[in-house]
Amino acid sequence: MSPAHELELGRLGRLRRSLEASGCGGGLFYDPINIRYATGTSNMQVYSLHNACRYVFVPLVGDVVLFEFKGCEHLSVGHPAVDQIRPAVSWYDFITGSRTPEFARRWAEEISSLLDGRDLAVDRLDPLGADELRSANIRLHDGQRIANSARMIKTPAEVDAVRRAVDACDEAIGEMRAGLRPGLTEQQVWSELHRANIARGGEWLETRLLTAGKRTNPWYQECSDNMIHDGDLVAFDTDLIGVGGYSVDISRTWVAGDRCPTPNQQRLYEAAHEQLAHNVDLFVPGASFAEIAHAAHLPEPEIHSVTNAAVAHGIGLCNEYPLILNRDHFAESGYDGEVQEGMVLCVEALAAPPGGSESVKLEEQILVTASGPELLSSQPLGLSLAQTVR
C-alpha cells in the first residue's frame, strides 16, 4: 500500500470506529476539513467553508459517497477511501433562491436512501436540512464531536505527514526571516510566509497574526501596513494550512535589524521562554487537562496578559480538540480530558505587560510519545540570530 493510501484509509478507519462508538449508522460531513479527513479529497477548501457545496456520506459499512461540486467529479477520482462520486445537491440561497425548499427536500431524500439505520451524525447543517431529515424520522447527532474524537489521535502515516508539513513550514519561516528588514510593512513581511508556504505545496493562512513594535501588545492585533523600524520586536503566529493539508502553528518573536535586544525585550523573551519550556514538559500520556491547567507556568502578573487563555490546543488538518485553558480560565470555561500518546498539540507562551508597548509570543508544536513530548519544529528560538536556542 502506498503511503498516500495508508494515510487516507487509516483516517477513514478511525472515523468509522468513532461513528460506531457513537451508535450512529453513518455520518454526513460538510466541513471541508472533515471531508478531507474522511476521503483525502480537497476542492475549493476556503469557498466550501462558507458555501455548502460538497459533502460526504460515511456509513459504518458500505460505500463512502462523496458528493462533489458539480462539474468537479474528476478531481476526486483515485482516492481509495471514496467508493462513489456523485454531484452534490446544493440548496443554499445563493444558487437556489426561492426554490431552496424544493432542493433541500431532494437532498434529504437521497441522504435518507443511503442511511442504514435511523441515527445520523452531522457536523454542520442549516435548519431547513435538519427539519427535512427529522421529517424522515432520522435522529441527528453531533458529528463534529465524533470527528474530533477520531482526529485527536494521529495514525503513524499522519505523524509522517505532520513532520513533512512542519519541515516545510520551518523552511518558509527561514525565508521570511531572511527577508525581514526595517522599512518593510508588517504585510510585506507576512506575505513572504504566504509565498513560501504556497511554493512548497501549502494552501492558506487562517489568521493574520504578524505585528511589530507597539502593535505586538496587546496580542491578537492583525497584520497591517504598519512600518517596521530598526529594533522593533516582530511577533507572529503561523496558523497555516501547509503541505498535505496539515496545519502548522508555531510562534516566534524577533528583533528587526541589527540591534541587540533591549533589557525589556530580553526580560519579556526570558519570561515567555520559561513559560514555554516548563509547559511543554507537562504533556505526558495520562496527564489530565485539569492537572496541566493548574501546573502550567504563567508569567509574573505584571507581564501576564489575559488575552492568552490557552496552555495548548490540538492540531491536525487545522486547530482542533482539545483546547486546554490555563488556571485563570479553567474553572469558567475549561473542560477535562486526558493526554494520550499520538496527540499533536501546540503549546503557547506570551509575555505581554498589560498596557505595555511590547510583547513576546512563542509557540511550539509537539508530538506526545510514550516517553514524553517531542518538539517537531527545528526553527530556533531567540530574539536575534546571535542568541537562537532550542
Whether residues 168 and 227 share a domain: the answer is yes
Report the distance separating Cα 358 and Cα 351, nearest Å.
9
Whether residues 179 and 258 share a domain: the answer is yes
Burial of 300 (0-12, 13-18, 19+ CB in 10 A): exposed
Could you give the 3-state DSSP secondary structure of residue 361?
strand
Which is nearest to 81 in space by CA: 129, 132, 9?
9
Whether residues 283 and 381 share a domain: the answer is yes
pLDDT of residue 281: 98
What are the helix (H) ranges across the chain? 3-22, 32-39, 45-50, 93-96, 100-114, 127-135, 143-151, 156-179, 186-199, 263-280, 289-295, 327-333
Pairing of strands 139-142, 344-351: unpaired
Report the distance separating Cα 103 and Cα 90, nearest Å.
7
Whether residues 146 and 168 share a domain: the answer is no
Please name the residues in contact with 145: beta carbons below 8 A apart, sequence gap of 6 or more.
Answer: none
Among residues 125, 151, 177, the one where a domain terminates is: 151
Report the distance separating Cα 146 and Cα 156, nearest Å.
20
Which residues is 9 bridged to in the sheet?
none
Report the number of distinct structural domains present in the chain: 2
pLDDT of residue 386: 54
pLDDT of residue 306: 76
Report the distance separating Cα 348 and Cα 332, nearest Å.
20
Read off the C-alpha cell for 389.
536556542
Which is nearest to 348 in space by CA: 251, 246, 221, 203?
251
pLDDT of residue 387: 58
Burial of 95 (0-12, 13-18, 19+ CB in 10 A): middle
What are residue 244's phi and psi, to 5 degrees? 75, 10
Please name the residues in contact with 71: beta carbons below 8 A apart, sequence gap of 6 or more.
Answer: none
Whether residues 146 and 161 share a domain: the answer is no
Report the distance separating Cα 270 and Cα 275, nearest Å.
9
Whether residues 136 and 162 share a domain: the answer is no
Whether residues 171 and 137 share a domain: the answer is no
Whether residues 59 and 92 share a domain: the answer is yes
Name the DSSP letter for residue 380.
P
Among residues 151, 185, 204, the one where a domain terminates is: 151
Q: Residue 333: which domain range?
A: 156-387
Q: Spell 363-377 as b/e; 16+ CB within 10 A means b.
A: bbbbbbeeeebeebb
Whether residues 181 and 128 share a domain: the answer is no
Task: Please tell me the number of Cα atoms within 13 Å of 177 on its side-chain side.
Answer: 24
Q: How far is CA 369 from CA 112, 165, 169, 374, in A?
A: 42, 19, 22, 7
Q: What is the mean pLDDT of each run of 10 residues along the chain (390 residues)?
A: 92 98 96 98 94 96 96 92 97 94 96 88 96 95 97 98 98 96 97 97 96 97 97 98 98 95 96 98 98 96 88 97 96 96 98 95 98 96 68
Among residues 151, 173, 202, the one where a domain terminates is: 151
Please name the residues in contact with 255: beta carbons below 8 A apart, sequence gap of 6 or more.
Answer: 231, 232, 233, 234, 261, 265, 383, 384
Could you give the 3-state DSSP secondary structure of residue 383?
coil
Q: What is the CATH number of the domain that holds 378?
A: 3.90.230.10
pLDDT of residue 116: 74
Whether residues 205 and 143 share a domain: the answer is no
Q: What is the CATH number of the domain that holds 107?
A: 3.40.350.10
Whether residues 232 and 135 share a domain: the answer is no
Whether residues 142 and 255 share a domain: the answer is no
